[in-house]
Amino acid sequence: MSALIAIGFDPGLAVTGYGVVELTDEGWRVRAGGVIRTASDRPRSERLRELAHEARELVETYRPCGIAIEEVFFATNAQTAMRTAEARGALLVASAGVPVRGYTPLQVKKRITGYGKAQKAQVQAMVQRLLRLAELPRPDDMADGLALALCYLLDARSPEGVDDVYL
């Protein structure tokens, strides 16, 4: 089997977490992880452009077989949800030419832990175990990015494979 690489993005206007995971014959391996931060004192359009640029650099550097982006969860704060949706749009632009899948938080929890109502700490512990990390992945946004990348690769390993289907 040739190595498969996926990038997971946990979108946010202020902070977007990302994780780059590779699947080889030897198992899972973290290639990179971190956060993309944008300054709140800058115009939103500039922040979105910066986010798209930084994300595109990750895509060009790691050349993933696919990208996973967390779906927007509409809670009580519509303004936050709208800004997250805008960040997701910037990530989609940065992902042009690469298959993209969207995952809800419930789908991520179910794929990583087997339980859709798992707590964040349970997801982080399972990501740590799957990726054989010495410590829990931190910050939370990066841990979510790693979990999303794992989701994409888990789907890619299934007999049906992964289409360029943005759910």
Tens digit of each residue's pLDDT (9 = 90 or more) over 127-153: 999 999 999 999 999 999 999 999 999
Catalytic residue flag (residue 70): yes
Catalytic residue flag (residue 25): no
Full-model pTM: 0.92
The pLDDT-based confidence of 76 (bands split at 50, 70, 90) is low
Residue 130 forms part of a structural domain: yes
Which of 22, 54, 70, 71 is an active site residue? 70
Which of 22, 54, 71, 141 is an active site residue? 141
Residue 161 forms part of a structural domain: no
Residue 108 forms part of a structural domain: yes
The pLDDT-based confidence of 160 (bands split at 50, 70, 90) is low
Catalytic residue flag (residue 60): no
The domain tally of the chain equals 1
What does the angle CA 82 – CA 36 – CA 95 come to, to the nearest 5 degrees?
Answer: 70
Residue 123 forms part of a structural domain: yes
Which CATH number is 25's domain given? 3.30.420.10
Tens digit of each residue's pLDDT (9 = 90 or more) over 57-70: 999 999 999 999 99
